[in-house]
């Protein structure tokens, strides 16, 4: 399941646009080679989306979305590991059996992935705290009957300012989570490494090629948003594509690093 244990993160090459194109191509290939398993893991996300929407619709209480959003980071990375393991097995020519893949995911509970999930949850909780503070700061004294029905208040100067500030802060948190997870999640599956080193390696990978990986983050955001519009059904295609592609992006960055090819590292 993993390579030989080592201290610290492995050297990674800077991401390139060619790597992104190759990752997407290989991601789609893996999806078509293992559609049943890929759709099963995508179903975890889709079912959660339906659950969130259903509870909110049935109860009329939008705060249920908060609880679901807080709980999602606990299971989301484990579902993502499923895509990575499928691609890893296809790449290695290993047997692609549902039981074997699930066994790998189940064993992650005793490795470093839960610790990374805890970091993501803490960031989510801090974001929710700041979101409430931003709302109170700009609209705390505004007259409204219900936060989800008094839409006119959001068209006021205070409402528009609140939306702008909240969107900016939320985007910052989303970018931070992307920076520390885009490479660390597949790395934790691939190697016996502590989650802090994996997060640092992921962050360094983004800073080494910021334009390329920010373009990757933007593509993920746009495709995911569009996939959610038709009742979350588009996620059945988009999530496997992005999940498999993320593994291949990490794999290319790992295998093209000069240190891993036996070449001297460049300054």
Q: Can you tell me whether residue 154 is helix, strand or coil?
A: helix
Confidence band, pLDDT 50/70/90 cuts, at residue 3: very low
> Is the model more confident about 162 or about 204?
204
Residue 75 pLDDT more than 70? no
| 8 pLDDT higher than 70 | no
Return the minimum-mean-pLDDT range out of 14-23, 60-69, 225-234, 257-266.
257-266
Q: Where on the phi/psi map is residue 8: left (φ > 0), alpha (ψ -120 to 50), or beta?
A: left
- Written as six digits, the tokens of 160 are 């528009």
At residue 249 the predicted structure's pLDDT band, cuts being 50, 70 and 90, is very high
Banded model confidence at residue 69, pLDDT cuts 50, 70, 90: low
Residue range 155-175: mean pLDDT, rounded: 84
Which phi and psi angles does 194 have, rounded to 5°? -75, 150
Q: Which of 9-13, 83-87, 90-94, 142-146 has the lowest mean pLDDT?
A: 142-146
Mean pLDDT, residues 219-224: 90
* Both tokens assigned to 8: 């610290």
Q: Is the pLDDT of residue 55 over 80?
A: no
Helix (H) or strand (E) holding 55: helix 35-59
Higher pLDDT among residues 49 and 175, named by residue = 175
Summarised one tens digit per residue, pLDDT across range 101-128 is 999 988 988 889 889 988 988 888 888 7
pLDDT attached to residue 137: 85
Mean pLDDT of 46-65: 71
At 157 the pLDDT is: 81
State which H helix or E strand residue 142 sits in: none
Average pLDDT over residues 205-234: 90
Which residue did the predictor score with more confidence, 13 or 125?
A: 13
Helix axes 64-92, 113-139, angle to 10 degrees: 150
Listing DSSP states for 219-236 in one string gives: HHHHHHHHHHTTTTTTHH
At residue 71, the pLDDT reads: 53
What's the confidence (pLDDT) of residue 264? 40
DSSP 266: P
Residue 211: C-alpha distances to residues 50, 214, 254 (Å)? 34, 5, 19
Mean pLDDT of 180-187: 93
Q: What does pLDDT average to over the chain?
A: 82
DSSP-based three-state secondary structure for 145: coil
Q: Is the pLDDT of residue 252 over 90?
A: yes
């Amino acid at each position: 399941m993993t390579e030989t244990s080592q201290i610290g993160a492995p050297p990674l090459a800077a991401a390139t646009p060619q790597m992104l194109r190759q990752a997407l191509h290989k991601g789609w290939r893996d999806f078509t080679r293992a559609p049943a398993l890929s759709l099963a893991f995508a179903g975890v996300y889709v079912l959660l989306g339906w659950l969130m929407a259903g509870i909110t619709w049935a109860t009329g209480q939008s705060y249920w979305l908060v609880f679901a959003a807080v709980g999602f980071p606990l299971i989301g990375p484990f579902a993502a590991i499923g895509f990575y393991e499928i691609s890893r097995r296809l790449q290695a020519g290993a047997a692609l059996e549902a039981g074997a893949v699930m066994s790998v995911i189940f064993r992650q509970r005793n490795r470093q992935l839960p610790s990374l999930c805890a970091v993501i949850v803490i960031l989510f909780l801090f974001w929710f705290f700041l979101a409430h503070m931003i709302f109170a700061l700009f609209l705390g004294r505004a007259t409204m009957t219900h936060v989800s029905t008094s839409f006119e208040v959001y068209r006021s100067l205070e409402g528009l300012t609140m939306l702008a500030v909240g969107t900016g802060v939320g985007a910052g948190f989303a970018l931070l989570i992307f920076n520390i997870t885009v490479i660390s999640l597949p790395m934790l599956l691939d190697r016996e490494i502590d989650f802090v080193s994996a997060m640092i390696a992921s962050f360094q990978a983004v800073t080494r090629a910021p334009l390329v990986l920010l373009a990757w983050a933007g593509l993920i955001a746009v495709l995911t948003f569009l996939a959610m519009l038709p009742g979350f059904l588009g996620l059945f295609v988009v999530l496997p594509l992005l999940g498999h592609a993320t593994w291949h992006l990490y794999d290319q960055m790992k295998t093209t690093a000069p240190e891993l090819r036996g070449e001297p590292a460049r300054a």
